[in-house]
Amino acid sequence: MSDKSRTDRHLTAETITSVLKRVIAENGRDHIRGYLFAIFCLAVVAGSTAFTAWIMEAVVNEAFANRRADLVAWICGAILLAFILRGFATYGQAVALSKIGNSIVARYQRRLYSHLMTLSVGFFSEARSARLAAQINQNINGIRDVLNMTVTSIARDLLTLIALIGVMISKDPLLTGIVFLVAPPLLLGLRYISKRLKFATREAVLINSHVLGAIQETIQGITIVKAFTMEEQLRAKVEGIIDQAEKRSNRIARLSERTAPMTETFAGVAIASVLGYSAYQAIYGGVLPGAMFAFIAALLMAYDPARRLARLQISLERAVVNARMIYEILDIEPHQRDRPGAGPLQISKAQIEFRTVSFSYASSKPILKDVSFVAEGGKTTALVGPSGAGKSTVISLIPRFYDPAQGQVLIDGQDIAHVEKQSLRNNVAYVSQQPYLFEGTIRDNIRYGRADATDAEIEEAARLAYAHDFILEQPQGYDTPVGENGATLSGGQRQRLSIARALVRNAPILLLDEATSALDTESEQAVQKALEHAMSGRTVVVIAHRLSTIVNADKIVVMQDGTVVEEGSHDALAARIDGLYARLHNLQAPGGALEPERKAGE
């Protein structure tokens, strides 16, 4: 055997053992009573099965050979009782294991969701959400299957097999030994298949997650697909992935089902040999057939549990692969944990300061280079500049969606890297350039801004965002479901609801990342008035491509290529003939070439 084969075999066993230990450690104690009850029921199943085989000798010898009519009723009653016990025990273990399995799945769903909420925005920027959701959905049952398979295999199949082997030995020890001479080659073959199946299963899970992810992406972007007639391109792409998944699944099927001819051949050889031997003994040896019938019954009944046990490692490999991929997600360390000793953010003026901040996304060129400016407390600071200047990145650093590579972001002199994230974000309201609504009602989506907001506060925030009137026009008013990401609303309506969500938060810091970009001119004017009211007394950092929306800002910070190139008021900056702001302002003046209003990848 090669070193690689030895290593693969060792890793296979180690993986099953380590994952099984972890699953038991995390779930065994909580469900110990349920598992003990299931094990008891499975032991009853095993015992009743073995009893049915054992009593065959009495059935054949006493009822048919010796014609003992006085014993027939007792034998039939015993068999009936055994089957009744087996039926109730089967029902009991199935319900118990199902309840435990459902509880485990729900527990890990909660754990996964809670853990994903602790991961940084950077993780979700790198991981495709559709593929991640598909991978979780495919693998979540692996944890349950690892435990349930182990319990049923040990308590039902192993106990049943041991009991039936006991019956076989009691009836004919020599014949039992001959039967087991065939077993070692079978076990070696199954082990070889199990090792190959492990790697094929993992690849299949990944490919299937790509399939589901691609389909989900297409559904989410169906408007763009239709608008750009992308159907054929995406069909070719998805069909290619589906072909890969089909080939991988076929390979798994071929590997998994190779156990069938192996086990069936083994069973055929064993049963044919026993039948031939039994017939010879009865014809030429004058031996009563009862013991042989009991032996054959035990052998036939032992076939199913033996086959399941033979396939156990193969089945466990698939479940362990799924469980391992769930643990890979759960074991991801959050990059932005609160530092030891971090305390709540103390707000006085809510002044924000960027001090020589540099930043770059993973494996990309620097986005920000030594950025320094102050957004004074209670005033409005506007960020302007060409697309790709780094404005949205500046906004994302304030609530710590990302941490700077160098430099500090301070609020009232406190480095936000040393305060609790929850406390920091509780003091920030955020409106993104792409409004996102969650499944639920309009009222629910506004209340996400502050969980304890009253209905009156929600409606007041909607009025300030100029959303109240269109909300009342909806079929159920504030209780109208919004559909997936607000599919039933226009872009402008979704944006006004996201602004209402920010207003109801009533935070001292307000971040507006092109908050009026999705609005028509009339709606923009209305919302601009609402924002002016909402900005009063708050520290506001706002990004705007239409410079007309920020002419009244207390300070304008002009950025280009990740650096701050100008600062000042609108009048002062517009007066600099050679300045970047003046050039942008002139381009957007009536008759000028307006800069595109939507940003791409800032």
Domain holding 63: CATH number? 1.20.1560.10
User: Per-residue pLDDT averaged across 146-171, rounded?
Assistant: 84
Specify burial of residue 153 (Cβ count, 10 A radius: 0-12, 13-18, 19+).
buried
Residue that finishes a domain, picked among 330, 362, 378? 330
Residues spanned by the domain of 318: 7-330
Return the amino acid letter for 128.
R
User: Per-residue pLDDT averaged across 494-509, rounded?
Assistant: 88
At residue 12, the pLDDT reads: 44
Please tell me whether residues 185 and 261 are part of one structural domain.
yes
Instruction: Map residue 501 onto helix, strand or coil.
Output: helix
At residue 186, the pLDDT reads: 63
At residue 214, the pLDDT reads: 75
User: Per-residue pLDDT averaged across 314-327, rounded?
Assistant: 78
Torsion of CA 531, 537, 543, 549, to 10 degrees: 50
Q: How confident is the model at residue 3 (pLDDT cuts 50, 70, 90)?
A: very low
Angle between helices 290-310 and 159-171 (to 10 degrees): 150
Q: Is residue 521 part of a domain?
A: no
Please tell me whether residues 108 and 230 are part of one structural domain.
yes
Q: Is residue 36 part of a domain?
A: yes
Domain holding 377: CATH number? 3.40.50.300
Query: With contact defined as beta carbons under 8 Å apart, do 282 and 295 qualify?
Result: no
Q: Which helix (H) or strand (E) holds 559?
A: strand 555-560
Query: With contact defined as beta carbons under 8 Å apart, do 302 and 164 qualify?
Result: yes
Question: Which residue would you say has higher pLDDT here, 89 or 490?
Answer: 89
Question: What's the mean pLDDT when you consider all of the chain?
Answer: 80
184, pLDDT greater than 60: yes
Question: Which residue would you say has higher pLDDT here, 494 or 458?
Answer: 458
Ranked by mean pLDDT, which of 11-15, 237-241, 343-347 comes out on top? 343-347
Q: How confident is the model at residue 382 (pLDDT cuts 50, 70, 90)?
A: very high
Q: Provide, rounded to the nearest whole percent, the portion of the chain with pLDDT above 90.
A: 20
Q: Is residue 122 part of a domain?
A: yes
Query: With contact defined as beta carbons under 8 Å apart, do 437 and 485 qualify?
Result: yes
Q: Is residue 504 part of a domain?
A: no
Please tell me whether residues 160 and 231 are part of one structural domain.
yes
Compute the distance between CA of residue 273 and CA of residue 279 in angstroms, rounded to an integer. Answer: 10
pTM score, whole prediction: 0.68
Please tell me whether residues 162 and 71 are part of one structural domain.
yes
At residue 4, the pLDDT reads: 38
Instruction: Map residue 311 onto helix, strand or coil.
Output: coil
User: Per-residue pLDDT averaged across 367-395, rounded?
Assistant: 91
Query: With contact defined as beta carbons under 8 Å apart, do 357 and 241 qualify?
Result: no
Q: How confident is the model at residue 2 (pLDDT cuts 50, 70, 90)?
A: very low
User: Per-residue pLDDT averaged across 527-550, rounded?
Assistant: 78
Compute the distance between CA of residue 375 and CA of residue 503 in angstroms, rounded to an integer. Answer: 20
Query: With contact defined as beta carbons under 8 Å apart, do 85 and 44 qualify?
Result: yes
Please tell me whether residues 121 and 157 are part of one structural domain.
yes
400, pLDDT greater than 80: yes
Residue that finishes a domain, picked among 282, 302, 330? 330
Please tell me whether residues 377 and 242 are part of one structural domain.
no
Please tell me whether residues 85 and 163 are part of one structural domain.
yes
Please tell me whether residues 298 and 357 are part of one structural domain.
no
At residue 374, the pLDDT reads: 95
User: Per-residue pLDDT averaged across 40-66, rounded?
Assistant: 82
Please tell me whether residues 245 and 350 are part of one structural domain.
no
Query: With contact defined as beta carbons under 8 Å apart, do 558 and 580 qualify?
Result: yes
**What confidence tens digit (pLDDT) does each residue in 461-482 have?**
998 888 898 999 999 999 999 8
Residue that finishes a domain, picked among 278, 304, 330? 330
Compute the distance between CA of residue 167 and CA of residue 159 in angstroms, rounded to an integer. Answer: 12
Average the pLDDT over each of 12-16, 203-207, 328-332 and give the range with the smallest value.
12-16
Q: Is residue 15 part of a domain?
A: yes
6, pLDDT greater than 50: no
Question: Which residue would you say has higher pLDDT here, 14 or 285?
Answer: 285
Please tell me whether residues 274 and 402 are part of one structural domain.
no
Q: Which helix (H) or strand (E) holds 543?
A: strand 539-543
Please tell me whether residues 176 and 241 are part of one structural domain.
yes
The one-character DSSP state at 580 is H
Average the pLDDT over each of 2-11, 227-236, 325-334, 368-377 and give the range with the smallest value.
2-11
Q: Is residue 461 part of a domain?
A: no
The total domain count for the chain is: 2
